[in-house]
Chain A
Amino acid sequence: AQSVTQPDIHITVSEGASLELRCNYSYGATPYLFWYVQSPGQGLQLLLKYFSGDTLVQGIKGFEAEFKRSQSSFNLRKPSVHWSDAAEYFCAVKGSGGSNYKLTFGKGTLLTVNP
């Protein structure tokens, strides 16, 4: 069964600082990986996704993530954080086999941005 671990429950950074949110997955084959962002009381917005090809993927709002098979990781990065980036971030994995589109989410990382 697939699983996702987000080791950091809460991260605080200063505005303008760089950011890295960690995500480790468990899946027997090549997974499909996603990062979503959720503002309070809102649904989820897709930041970026990895299906295949280039292991460094670019997303919206200046975010990027790198798939590292050897480390089973898909960490999210942003070079300079803005106050509006404060939100909850979820990493998710979907198995690449079959037609089941069930997503497995990590527990999320809450990002606080200090002025």
Chain B
Amino acid sequence: GAVVSQHPSRVICKSGTSVKIECRSLDFQATTMFWYRQFPKKSLMLMATSNEGSKATYEQGVEKDKFLINHASLTLSTLTVTSAHPEDSSFYICSARTGGLVTEAFFGQGTRLTVV
């Protein structure tokens, strides 16, 4: 299957700083990328959907000014957590899919963010 690479896999940052997470589709062009947040022992919560070259669509309750998403190319999307707080500590996972209706989404390996 297609490969989605997420970087970094683990990051620790100080409160008030910003951290950027990258999601790359290595062997296919991703027209759409998705960012999820996973709380401990909880399911995946979709944060936003991004299409290459356009603004991301955020789910209800997700602060777009705090979680900045950029999908500048068909192989790269970034999530920037701005002014991070300890409650932003979580596991963030991206997924990517090609165009068309009946296709699957491929997931990155996730990023463990710890804000201290």
Distance from A24 Cβ to chain B, minimum over Cβ atoms (Å): 14
- Report the tally of A-B residue pairs with Cβ distances under 8 A: 48
Complex alpha-carbon distance, A42 and B112, angstroms: 9
With most chain B CB atoms within 10 A of its CB, the pick from A36, A42, A44, A99 is A44
Q: Which residues on A sit within 8 Å (CB–CB) of B106? A: 46
Pick the contact of A46 from B1, B32, B91, B109 — CB < 8 Å?
B1
- B108/A46 in contact, CB under 8 A: no
Complex alpha-carbon distance, A19 and B58, angstroms: 37
Q: Which residues on A sit within 8 Å (CB–CB) of B101? A: 99
Query: Which residues of B, 59-92, contact A by the 8 Å Cβ criterion?
Result: 91
Query: Which residues of A, 20-63, contact B by the 8 Å Cβ criterion?
Result: 32, 34, 36, 41-46, 49, 51
Distance from B109 Cβ to chain A, minimum over Cβ atoms (Å): 4
User: Is B43 positioned at the interface, with any CB of A under 8 Å from its CB?
Assistant: yes
> A44 — nearest CB in chain B belongs to which residue?
B107
User: Is A90 positioned at the interface, with any CB of B under 8 Å from its CB?
Assistant: yes
- B109/A43 in contact, CB under 8 A: yes
- A105/B109 in contact, CB under 8 A: no
Pick the contact of A43 from B46, B102, B108 — CB < 8 Å?
B108
Known contacts being A46-B1, A49-B104, is A101 close to B44, with CB within 8 Å?
no
User: Is A107 positioned at the interface, with any CB of B under 8 Å from its CB?
Assistant: yes
> A107 — nearest CB in chain B belongs to which residue?
B43
User: Is B49 positioned at the interface, with any CB of A under 8 Å from its CB?
Assistant: yes
- B109/A103 in contact, CB under 8 A: no
Complex alpha-carbon distance, A42 and B108, angstroms: 8
A-B contact pairs, 14 of them (CB 8 A): A32-B102, A42-B109, A43-B4, A43-B93, A43-B109, A46-B104, A46-B106, A99-B101, A101-B49, A102-B46, A103-B46, A103-B105, A106-B43, A108-B43
Inter-chain pairs besides A51-B102, A107-B43, 12 sampled, C-beta below 8 Å: A42-B109, A42-B110, A43-B108, A44-B93, A45-B107, A46-B104, A49-B104, A90-B43, A101-B97, A102-B34, A102-B49, A105-B44
